[in-house]
A and B are shown apart, each in its own frame.
Chain A
Amino acid sequence: MQVTVRYYGFFSTVTRKLYETLEVKEGQKVKDLIENLSGRYGYKFSQLCFIRPLYSDREYANICLNALDLNSIQKFPQGLETTVKEGDTVSFGVMGGAA
């Protein structure tokens, strides 16, 4: 199945792309996708995915799923274990600016 991946900010520096369409297996989770892309684009990619923002003692996943912040427990109770579906858009580097 196909998903769209968008790269913002430093992610686009590392991947040299603004977006791409990926072919992924059914039932793949967000964390699998991250591993896949880190394998392709190097350790810098995974470094950018997980950051320690100011004033926080937790790591923050710099990722949105369909324009929603993946760190929102209300919207994504399973967090990185959330399954990706056909036609989803996964955005890297939007920095909390999604709804």
Chain B
Amino acid sequence: MVDGWTGRRLRVDLSMGTVKVEEIGKSYREKWLGGRGFNSELLYREVGPDVDPLSPENKVIFGIGPLTGTFAPSSGRTTVTARSPLGGGFGDSNMGGHWGPELKFAGYDQLVIEGKASKPVYLWIDDEHVEIRDAAHIWGRNVPEADAIIKEELGSKEIHIALIGPAGENLVRYACILNDVYRAAARAGIGAVMGSKNLKAIAVRGTRSVTVSRPDEFYQVCADIRERMKRDLMVQMLYDQGTWLLTMPANYEQGWFCWHNFQKGFHPDADKLSGENHRDNFLSHREGCFACSISCGRFSKIKEGRYAGEITGGPEYETLTAVGPRIGLLDMDKVVHNSKLVNELGLDSCSCGGAIAWAMECWEKGLLTKEDTGGLTLDWGDQTLIDRLIRMIAFREGFGNILAEGSSRAAELMNRGKDYSISVKGHDMSQDDPRGLGFAFGIGFATGRRGGDHLQGLPCLELTGGFYPGLVEKILGTNEAEDRLSQVKKPEMEKYSEDLKAVGDSLTQCTFTHNWSFAVQPEDMVRLLSAATGMEISADDLLRIGGRIIHLERAYWNRLLVGCMEDHCPKRFTQEPMPEGPNKGIIFPEADLIPRYYDVRGWDRQTGFPLPEVLMEYGLEDIARDLEPFREEYRKKALMETQTEVQMKVQTGEKL
């Protein structure tokens, strides 16, 4: 009898049409925790360097943890992992909603999808009954339509469905998976992996209980944390405006409002997209994920203009900025409409906005002509064009086919505009400019498991940490680190935040409870785990599990010969000073911070590979062995690069 976890993995082979249930033993559970921990470990072991991301040998893995589906605050998230078709390396994403808990009630901690179905199918998991069903009649449908059809066909509206849209079916490299229609696991293109397997949807219904070891104590711990969260102003703000609360400070106080593909961080009319405007004129409903005390989810309704009457889940800050100011739009109705479009077609808004922004900047600078775009004129903020372009991307039509590859590959295919692809390791940046948002975030962008990702660590200690006086000092030893644009202790801050985030993604618990609001601390997670599962662990050891997961995910990249040479933020952040706004003149001092981050992590400065002795400390001996040949090869490669660079600088007389 397992408490918290179910101890069961469901493995579905779509090529053979087989379904297997495997055990997840106690020592594995306590080493990797669940959710992202389970997923990353399985991916490392089973999806090696020679697997093409869109081939049947890739796997899509859905993982939840011991706290998913319980009374623990904000315990509804699911981590989805696969080898990424966008960056070619490690890929994962995380979605909210209510799908994950349903998987737990059905009796599984993890779902692994392998192989490829010979024709479009969807999976139906109804407690122990698992069925692969024909999906010809929903293939091609957008997400809300497919959701409704499946619910009708299976005879129940109480099921929860994870779906891909047409973008996933067409293998757009940044296609996403959505559950409950509007909750997206968007980044890294895992929707395309699902599409490459001819898998349209996974519908789940579960009726079993999640048991906990000490119910009364667990109830009390959850109640204490929830009462604390009620008192937290950050939680109240997130409920009131959702993540839209960022728009005004991001622009007027902090200067990282992404305008025109990050060319600027400030716009005088940013208040058109204020959280206040959204709440007062566009908000139709506040939504919460499973068991969430915050409920930052939004639903928006457009009342006037050409899109009047449209209703959509979201948008949240990243989405609104991606299909908004990043591509030149400040009108809220257009932004909401674009968000709806992107969701229903199953596209990652960040990468979609990134690709379009790349194209628009190339157009602006004269690098793309009408011949290249198939007759389209790519003016910033042209809504008619943007609407059309998003659809072209989802269906890979015309110029949309190039943009569907992501801005990094598109720049390579067209052989121009590489500096305008604001991406890291092939992944487009989320809308967070380190020149304004903060330097710890910048470290995460450069070194993270999915490049360009604010959610590598979400080190809000430098953003909202000052609002909890004494907290940053307690964790890092000095309150100077509260300053976003200070370098003091930022590598340590990023490490701490990343470890904590990895733990949260494994438990699963929403990062907003402990990495934006700081109402939940590692000590709380320890108490929750203990009462729920009987697992006794200290807060430091819990964070070490997070560290272990980070080393593993790093090793995944290292095995593909990716290391310190690829750990770079886009040149725009490190070489172009902010042109105007509250943080005018700032650049991201990558060269100082990243080597220090390596030191803090225990990674080799010469290669960016974790040092073998550090891997041993974390119980990763087999990974240390795996990496040996790759480490040597990469070291030689890095050495040659440095020598070439030195030679070039000598030739051009540049300072060494």
Chain A–chain B contact at Cβ < 8 A: yes
Give B457-486 as 1s and 0s: 1 = Cβ < 8 Å from A's Cβ atoms. Answer: 000000111111111000000000011111
Across-interface contacts of B463 in A (CB, < 8 A): 96-97
Query: Does B579 make an interface contact (CB < 8 A)?
Result: no
Q: CA separation between A19 and B253, bound complex, in Å?
A: 13
Residue in B closest to A98 when the chains form the complex, CB atoms = B253
Give A1-38 as 1s and 0s: 1 = Cβ < 8 Å from B's Cβ atoms. Answer: 00000101110110000110000000000000000000
Among candidates B231, B234, B467, residue contacting A60 with C-beta atoms closer than 8 Å: B467
> How many CB-defined contacts (below 8 Å) exist between A and B?
94
Q: CA separation between A60 and B467, bound complex, in Å?
A: 8
Q: CA separation between A18 and B245, bound complex, in Å?
A: 12
Q: CA separation between A72 and B254, bound complex, in Å?
A: 17
Across-interface contacts of A69 in B (CB, < 8 A): 466, 482
Are B582 and A56 touching (Cβ within 8 A)?
Answer: no
Give B213-251 as 1s and 0s: 1 = Cβ < 8 Å from A's Cβ atoms. Answer: 000000000000000100111101100110001001100
Across-interface contacts of A94 in B (CB, < 8 A): 249, 253
Query: Does B252 make an interface contact (CB < 8 A)?
Result: yes
Q: Given known contacts A18-B271, A54-B231, is B240 in contact with A9 (CB within 8 Å)?
A: yes
Across-interface contacts of A18 in B (CB, < 8 A): 248, 271, 274, 276
Query: Does B33 make an interface contact (CB < 8 A)?
Result: no
Q: Given known contacts A54-B468, A55-B470, is B483 in contact with A99 (CB within 8 Å)?
A: yes
Are B464 and A95 touching (Cβ within 8 A)?
Answer: yes
Q: CA separation between A56 and B463, bound complex, in Å?
A: 18
Q: Given known contacts A9-B241, A55-B468, is B248 in contact with A97 (CB within 8 Å)?
A: no
Are B467 and A91 touching (Cβ within 8 A)?
Answer: no
Q: Given known contacts A96-B465, A96-B466, A99-B483, is B249 in contact with A54 (CB within 8 Å)?
A: no
Residue in A closest to B484 when the chains form the complex, CB atoms = A99
Query: Does B518 make an interface contact (CB < 8 A)?
Result: yes
Give A40-73 as 1s and 0s: 1 = Cβ < 8 Å from B's Cβ atoms. Answer: 0000000000010111101010101001010110
Q: CA separation between A32 and B385, bound complex, in Å?
A: 51
Query: Does B193 make an interface contact (CB < 8 A)?
Result: no
Among candidates A10, A19, A95, A99, residue contacting B467 with C-beta atoms closer than 8 Å: A95
Among candidates B231, B245, B465, B484, residue contacting A9 with C-beta atoms closer than 8 Å: B245
Query: Does B393 make an interface contact (CB < 8 A)?
Result: no
Are A99 and B485 touching (Cβ within 8 A)?
Answer: yes
Minimum C-beta distance from A19 to chain B (A)? 8
Q: CA separation between A66 and B438, bound complex, in Å?
A: 18
Are B482 and A96 touching (Cβ within 8 A)?
Answer: yes
Q: Do most interface residues of chain A lie in helix, strand or loop, or is the interface mixed?
A: loop
Residue in B closest to A75 when the chains form the complex, CB atoms = B483
Q: CA separation between A34 and B411, bound complex, in Å?
A: 53
Are B233 and A8 touching (Cβ within 8 A)?
Answer: no
Among candidates B231, B234, B254, B469, residue contacting A58 with C-beta atoms closer than 8 Å: B469
Are B254 and A95 touching (Cβ within 8 A)?
Answer: no
Query: Does B519 make an interface contact (CB < 8 A)?
Result: yes
Q: CA separation between A47 and B498, bound complex, in Å?
A: 35
Interface size of B as a range: 35 or more
Minimum C-beta distance from B626 to chain A (A)? 42
Across-interface contacts of A55 in B (CB, < 8 A): 468-471, 518
Residue in A closest to B271 when the chains form the complex, CB atoms = A18
Are A60 and B469 touching (Cβ within 8 A)?
Answer: yes
Residue in A closest to B234 when the chains form the complex, CB atoms = A95
Across-interface contacts of B248 in A (CB, < 8 A): 6, 8, 18
Are A8 and B249 touching (Cβ within 8 A)?
Answer: yes
Among candidates B228, B275, B464, residue contacting A97 with C-beta atoms closer than 8 Å: B464
Minimum C-beta distance from B238 to chain A (A)? 10
Minimum C-beta distance from A97 to chain B (A)? 5
Across-interface contacts of A71 in B (CB, < 8 A): 466, 469
Among candidates A13, A53, A60, A97, residue contacting B254 with C-beta atoms closer than 8 Å: A97
Q: Given known contacts A55-B471, A60-B467, is B253 in contact with A97 (CB within 8 Å)?
A: yes
Are B237 and A53 touching (Cβ within 8 A)?
Answer: no
Q: CA separation between A54 and B469, bound complex, in Å?
A: 8
Are A9 and B252 touching (Cβ within 8 A)?
Answer: no
Give B554-588 as 1s and 0s: 1 = Cβ < 8 Å from A's Cβ atoms. Answer: 00000000000000000000000000001100000
Minimum C-beta distance from A91 to chain B (A)? 6
Are A54 and B245 touching (Cβ within 8 A)?
Answer: no
Are B233 and A67 touching (Cβ within 8 A)?
Answer: no
Q: CA separation between A9 and B464, bound complex, in Å?
A: 14
Among candidates B234, B254, B271, residue contacting A67 with C-beta atoms closer than 8 Å: B254
Across-interface contacts of A96 in B (CB, < 8 A): 463-468, 482
Q: Give the interface centre of B231, B274, B276 by most chain A CB atoms within 10 Å.
A: B276
Minimum C-beta distance from B306 to chain A (A)? 26
Are B469 and A12 touching (Cβ within 8 A)?
Answer: no
Across-interface contacts of B241 in A (CB, < 8 A): 9
Across-interface contacts of B470 in A (CB, < 8 A): 55-56
Residue in A closest to B236 when the chains form the complex, CB atoms = A10
Q: CA separation between A95 and B583, bound complex, in Å?
A: 18
Across-interface contacts of B249 in A (CB, < 8 A): 8, 91, 94-95, 97-98
Across-interface contacts of B231 in A (CB, < 8 A): 54
Residue in A closest to B274 when the chains form the complex, CB atoms = A18
Q: CA separation between A17 and B463, bound complex, in Å?
A: 24
Q: Give the interface centre of A6, A91, A96 by most chain B CB atoms within 10 Å.
A: A96
Minimum C-beta distance from B251 to chain A (A)? 11
Minimum C-beta distance from A81 to chain B (A)? 19
Q: List 25 A-B contacts (CB under 8 A).
A: A6-B248, A9-B237, A9-B245, A9-B275, A10-B237, A12-B274, A13-B240, A53-B469, A58-B469, A60-B467, A67-B254, A67-B582, A69-B482, A91-B252, A94-B249, A95-B233, A95-B234, A95-B237, A96-B463, A96-B464, A96-B482, A97-B249, A97-B464, A98-B466, A99-B486
List 8 extra interface pairs beyond A9-B237, A13-B240, A53-B469, CB under 8 A: A8-B245, A9-B240, A13-B276, A54-B231, A95-B237, A96-B465, A97-B249, A97-B464
Interface residue ranges, A against B (CB under 8 Å): 6, 8-10, 12-13, 18-19, 51, 53-56, 58, 60, 62, 64, 67, 69, 71-72, 91, 94-99
